[in-house]
Amino acid sequence: NHQLDILTSGLKGGFFGGDGPNGADFANYGILRAMENLDGWDIIQNHQAGFAWFNRMQAISKV
């Protein structure tokens, strides 16, 4: 949870890029996307700000 708190503290609006995603959003999304459904994924799902950001990125990237 602590690492997700640090990660999401960098959000400036809905994304790291402000109103829209930038390279940092896509890089971090790729890392977390690779972890989806693995052991520990529930930590991300239960982190309100982190999972909301993940869902926004998933909707934009369509991946």
Q: Can you tell me the distance from the alpha carbon of 63 to that of 2, in angstroms, rounded to the nearest whole number?
A: 26
Across 5-31, average pLDDT: 97
Which pLDDT does position 1 carry in this prediction? 84
Q: What is the pTM of this model?
A: 0.93
Across 25-49, average pLDDT: 97
At 46-57, the pLDDT tens digits run: 999 999 999 999
> Quick one: what percent of the chain has pLDDT higher than 70?
100
Q: Mean pLDDT for the chain? A: 96
Domain boundaries, the chain: 22-63
Burial (CB count <10 Å: 0-12, 13-18, 19+), residue 25: buried
